[in-house]
Amino acid sequence: MRLHVIGLGGAGVRIADRLAADHDDDPFLAGVKAFDSDMDALGALNALGEERRYRFGDAAGGDGLGGDLHAGRRLGDAHASELGREMDDQRPSLAEAFLIVVGLGGAAGAGAAPALAEELSRLYDAPVYAFGFLPTPSETEEPDGEGATSAAAGSAAPGTEAEPATPHRPLAERNAARTLDALSDRCAAVFPFDNAAWLRPGETLGGARDRLNGVAAERIAALFGAGETPEGTETPQQVLDASDVARAVGSDGEIAAIGHATQAVESPEGGSRFGLGLFGSSEPAEVDTSAAVSAIETVIRKAARGKNTVEVPDGRADRTLLVVGGPPPWLNREAIADGRRWLAGEAGSDAILSGDAPVPGGDAVSAVVVRSGVDEPERLREIRETIR
């Protein structure tokens, strides 16, 4: 689909920049903009040029809002139309969906996101989705002791690079709870990303930031880029389009989770050890059926049961979307159908849509599993309880 991505606030603009760096030439990425009230955050971007960055909210003084969500809401209400106009050069009327990417615990981005979502819904017929980063518990805790102070400051041994500091944001969880509620009222679906679940043992949020940004950008591209193939390549047998994604995630602001997995395989182009072709043959070799079935089963199960953008309690969901990709000879139809039936049992619902994403000459089989209408994950429940 033709997706227009809007990064709002510090976390949002970093993901927008990462998507532009990794996927600017991909057909699904129709537009990318980065909006923030913080001059330094915008100035640190690499892939997005000046024409795709915009600072809003002169009243904020260019230094951010210090966690004041109410100030962020006022900025959003005052500047939503202005931000909408700033997107006009990328022809947003052609977009099939909009994705607002935002740190839910912040102020400028989280405060402005609901107003911008409402503005985009008013102007265009395309669905507006939100991809929001949940704050970690450590962000709201007071630094404790000398070791914590040193870690928070990003100190490092002489001759080594300092680790980025983990922000101390005492209002982050309450901001996130209120922003989730506001976005659910204004967006077709919300994709939370649970930072805490993705941290490795002993890893800090500051130290993990680049890796987590890469994971988030990869998941976004895996879902929204699944139905787009470059010109001249093979057409999928089951074409995934914007309406399929819309039907899978719904339109009532429900929580949705993205799972993704890949497995390396040998491309059958020019011969393969799985086929019968002679070494050096220019003819594509046949792929061993059992190898294809095993690869597809593996990636579907890993995408469903591996780490998702947010926890899916007991794997259950009202609606599920499955997209399997890879070299066309590896896309065994029977294996994909079996995987779809297995997912129906896992989710406890037969409401499953599927598509395929052929990658001629590719060297991996992949699966994207999106589940919507899931039971509330524990981390979301913890965050919501901060305002109850």
Instruction: List residues forming the annotated binding site for GTP.
Output: 139, 195, 213
Binding residues: 139, 195, 213
Dist. CA 213–CA 211, nearest whole Å: 5
Q: How many other β-carbons are positioned within 10 Å of the β-carbon of residue 47?
A: 16
Dist. CA 308–CA 259, nearest whole Å: 5
Dist. CA 56–CA 82, nearest whole Å: 8
> Is 297 exposed, middle or buried, given 0-12, 13-18 or 19+ CB atoms closer than 10 A?
middle
Give φ, ψ of 131 to 5 degrees: -115, 110
- Residues linked to residue 371 through DSSP beta bridges, in sequence order: 257, 320
Q: How many other β-carbons are positioned within 10 Å of the β-carbon of residue 168?
A: 14
- The amino acid present at 249, given as its one-letter code, is V
